[in-house]
Amino acid sequence: MLVLIGPGTIAAVSLAQGITTLEALVIIAFAFGATVALVIFLLGRISGAHINPAITLAHTIARKTTLDMFVPYISFQVLGGLLAAFTVKLIFSQFGSPADLGTTKLLSGVNPLVGTVLETAGTFVLAMSGFLASVRVHKKPGEAALIGTTLFFIILALGPVTNASLNPARSLGPALASGYLTDLYVYLIGPLAGGLIAGLVYRLFERSKLG
């Protein structure tokens, strides 16, 4: 759902006439934020609704997800991203490959190291919002709203610079479907680093409470 609706919206918006850059950014940010919120609301009680390898890594490091579930989560997140990305390709094939099927790209002139740091920071904030939701908000609609809103604002902030992936599976699928692999490593390393740091911070926080 995330890769079908998010990158699909990017491709659709790129074909629309008369939409300003700001309007396009808000539409795309809303599409991603609302989709994540919806998935958490629908599937959160069943699977935790990670839908993001970086979030799964954060939860595994924080010991909120068991280690034996790490590989299954990652495998199906990547599979879902790939299936969705090639579905987007099928839908938009008649238009060529608009916006490279929603592939994440750095703004022209942005150093990949800077992009990686920004993706790390954005993913850290997103992961910490998830931890905060699990500790402070005890109902799925509230958790979904908090995390979805956080993602919305992160995309507004980072979207013009890095496209605000924050999710390796979200970037990998469209990159492989479109064949645009430039700087893909930024969107693998950055989010995973952000998830790792968030997991460690949560562990330290929990340890300090126990101490």
Predicted confidence (pLDDT) per residue in 170-208, tens digit:
999 999 999 999 999 999 999 999 999 999 999 998 877
What pLDDT score was predicted for residue 45? 87
Q: pLDDT tens-digit profile of 19-50?
A: 999 999 999 999 999 999 999 999 988 988 88
What pLDDT score was predicted for residue 210? 61
Q: Please check whether the domain covering 2-210 is classified as CATH 1.20.1080.10.
A: yes
| CB 127 within 8 Å of CB 194 | yes
Residue 104 to residue 174: CA distance in whole angstroms: 8
- Distances in Å between the Cα of 39 and the Cα atoms of 107, 111, 120 are 29, 33, 23
What pLDDT score was predicted for residue 119? 98
Tell me which of 105 and 97 has the higher pLDDT. 105
Residue carrying the six token digits 């799964």: 56
pTM of the model: 0.94
What pLDDT score was predicted for residue 211? 57
Q: pLDDT tens-digit profile of 125-160?
A: 999 999 998 888 878 889 999 999 999 999 999 999
Rounded to 10 deg, the angle between the 168-178 and 53-61 helix axes is: 150
